[in-house]
Amino acid sequence: MRLPGLGGWSEDPLWSYVYPRLVDSGPVGRAAWRAVMGSDLTLLHEAAAEIGTLPRGSRVLDVPTGSGVALRGVRPGQGLDVVAVDISTTMLQRAAATAARLGVADQVTTAVADVGNLPFDDGSFDLVVSFTGLHCFPDPHRAIREMVRVLAPGGAITGSSLFTDTGLRYRPLRRAGTRIGVLGPMCTSEEARAWLREAGCAEVELSLHGALGYFRAVRAEQS
């Protein structure tokens, strides 16, 4: 078996083993998240809970799904069509295992794809969720354009990301992530707001919590 090393996500880096344990390990994970990110992991779980409010038949895109952290928002028997997308096949295997563990595997399909070139038609999802992903993507502007393109008018995009305007305290964290290859160029929260509007979102909310920002925007009916 190949030992996990440092490198990009498609190379299955060491961080891809550490990260899922951090976000899924209850009080220990929450404490570590607060210490490193200065933010509350509950915010991620609360944002993911929006999935559970959708009516039967809704289509949800989770990109990047990673180990399927957002899938905890899906309720067994809810009747959703959730597509979990990631560039890493290893992460997708973990997401599929998470879906099975949560009893929602019948509502989840996985697909390998690059967020910058999503293999889906315009307007084909009711909700796009993108947690702790934007900062990993090689072109966050293009990623936002693609994620909003596949969103139906009136649909919402919700997610979180590290932003570069969250203060000097988090600069070492961002630098370390960039060095080991798990973080991309990132962007400021203002850029993300502007790109969401430019892509066709009308209502854009973004609030910073420590190193992270949480955003939610609704695609305009006419764009």
Ligand X SMILES: C[S@@+](CC[C@H](N)C(=O)[O-])C[C@H]1O[C@@H](n2cnc3c(N)ncnc32)[C@H](O)[C@@H]1O
Q: Which residues bind ligand X (CB under 6 A)?
A: 9, 19, 23, 64-67, 69-70, 86-88, 91, 114-116, 131-133, 136-138
How far apart are the C-alpha atoms of 82 and 96, rounded to whole Å? 11
The least distance separating ligand X from the CB of residue 220, rounded to whole angstroms, comes to: 25
Nearer to ligand X, 88 or 189 (CB): 88
Nearer to ligand X, 88 or 107 (CB): 88
Q: Which residue is nearest to ligand X, using beta carbons?
A: 66
How far apart are the C-alpha atoms of 122 and 149, rounded to whole Å? 5
C-beta separation of 143 from 134 below 8 A: yes
The least distance separating ligand X from the CB of residue 87, rounded to whole angstroms, comes to: 4
The least distance separating ligand X from the CB of residue 222, rounded to whole angstroms, comes to: 29
Nearer to ligand X, 114 or 126 (CB): 114
Nearer to ligand X, 48 or 54 (CB): 48
The least distance separating ligand X from the CB of residue 23, rounded to whole angstroms, comes to: 5
What is the torsional sign of CA 21, 26, 28, 31?
positive
List % helix, strand, coil for the chain (3-state, nearest 5). 45, 20, 35
The least distance separating ligand X from the CB of residue 46, rounded to whole angstroms, comes to: 13
Q: For strand 212-219 and strand 81-86, is the pairing parallel, antiparallel, or unpaired?
A: unpaired
Nearer to ligand X, 109 or 221 (CB): 109
The least distance separating ligand X from the CB of residue 129, rounded to whole angstroms, comes to: 8
At 60 the three-state DSSP class reads: strand
DSSP code string of 160-214? EEE-TTS-GGGHHHHHHHHHHTS--S---HHHHHHHHHHHTEEEEEEEEETTEEE
Buried b (16+ CB within 10 A) or exposed e, 162-199: bbbebeeebeebbeebeeebbbbebbebebbbebbbeb
Nearer to ligand X, 67 or 189 (CB): 67
